[in-house]
Amino acid sequence: MEEISAAKIQIREDIAKTISAFSESEIAEKTSAIERRLFGFANFLESKIALLYVNSNLEVQTDSIIQQAYNYSKVVVLPAFDPEGFKMKLMKVDSFKQNLIPGSRGVFEPDARRCKIVPMDRIDIAIIPGLAFDEKGGRIGLGTGYYDRLIPRLAITTRKVALTIEEQIVPQIPMESHDKHVDIIITDKRIIYKI
């Protein structure tokens, strides 16, 4: 267990160095390529209710993706985090600008006074954040376990899709029993289906 934890910490540090080496314009270019792939991806186009996320520093930027999802007539669902129970509520967000408030993790979250909870089994596609991935769908997140608890609660038919830049793909993610995989990874260079 300690070896796996140490390996994950090392991967997080390596990815942070890699990402910080890119210029803003390089990140913007890579993000645009990911967006183009996502908005041409059949599973996304066919979905009606999409779970998205508001990114933290090392995750793929999602502001533009969320805005475009409205243009594609998606029901946009974003997570609201409960830091005490390490759980999240999935909430329908009708207006990206008006329905979000600063959250406990330093990123914007749905305002519970303006947004309604969406049952897990209604999500057609779940866009799952992460810092690093492997080609088998293994992922490393921020280390809080929110998404490792969420993934098994989603319907088996819900596609679990990660967005990442190619440089965040590593040969192998050290996985523990509580770590969960994604089904598909969309990078700026390709779409990877879980092996």
If one counts every other C-beta atom within 10 angstroms of the C-beta of residue 9, the result is 12
Options 3.40.50.10420, 3.90.1200.10, 3.30.930.10, 3.40.50.300; CATH of 2-193: 3.40.50.10420
Task: Tell me if the pTM is above 0.85.
Answer: yes
Q: Which residue carries 């946009």 as its tokens?
A: 76
The residues spanned by each domain of the chain are 2-193
Q: What pLDDT is stored for residue 177 in this prediction?
A: 86
Selection from 162, 169, 164 nearest residue 188 by Cα: 164
CA 80 to CA 100: how far, in whole Å? 10
Nearest to 174, CA basis, from 27, 38, 9: 9
Enumerate residues 6+ apart whose C-beta is below 8 A from 47.
74, 124, 125, 159
User: Tokens 């390089």 appear where?
Assistant: 26
DSSP 3-36: HHHHHHHHHHHHHHHHHHTS-HHHHHHHHHHHHH
Dump pLDDT digits (tens) for 77-124. 999 998 887 789 999 999 988 999 988 778 899 999 999 999 999 999
Q: Minimal CA–CA distance to 160: which of 128, 120, 191, 135?
A: 128
Q: Which residues of the chain have a pLDDT value below 50?
A: none
